[in-house]
Amino acid sequence: MTQASVTCPVSAEKINENVARIIASFTIIIVLAGLYFKSPFIIAALAIDFSLRAFTNGNYSPLKYISKRFSNYFGTAPKMVDAAPKKFAAGIGFLFTVTIAGLQWFQHDISTDLVATALLICAGLESFKGFCLGCIVYTYIVLPFISKEDSEQSTISINL
C-alpha cells in the first residue's frame, strides 16, 4: 500500500478512527432496525445523530458517546485521523437518513430499500474494512475546490 498526503484546509481537528468504525457498526444495526420495523422515526433519530456529528463537534451525539465507551472498554489504541472528511461523510449520512425517513414516511418501499442499501454499503465498508467512501469523495471531489490559501492547515493521509 502506498500512502498519499493531501492537505485539508478545513481544520486541524483529529478524531479516533476506531470510534468512527464503531459508530458505523451501530449505524448498520439502527438502519436495519428501521427497515425491519418500517419506522421512519428510528431512521429520523439516526439522522439527528448524524447531524450532531456533521454540523457540531459531536459532543452531544449518543452514538459517539457510546462508541467511545466501547472503544475504551475494549482497550483499542486510538488511531487519530483528520475530522473534516469524517464530518463530510457524516453530512452525507445525514442526507441519506433524511431521504430514507422521508421515503418510508410516504411508503415508497423500493426506493427506501435502494437508498438504505447504499447507506448500509458505505457503513459496512467503514465498519468492517476501515474504508470511508465519503472521505474519498471529500478528498478527491470537494477538497480541490477549497481555496489554496487555507490549504496549509492540516494533512489527510489516505491509504491507496
Q: Does position 135 have pLDDT exceeding 80, yes or no? A: yes
* Residues near 85 by beta carbon (within 8 Å), at least 6 away in sequence: 8, 132, 134, 135, 138, 139, 156
pTM of structure? 0.85
More confident residue, 108 or 156: 108
More confident residue, 146 or 63: 63
- Mean pLDDT for the stretch of residues 148-154: 50
- Mean pLDDT for the stretch of residues 80-87: 93
Domain layout of the chain by residue ranges: 16-136
Instruction: Say what the pLDDT of residue 121 is.
Output: 98
List for the chain the helix, strand, coil content (%; round to 5). 70, 10, 20
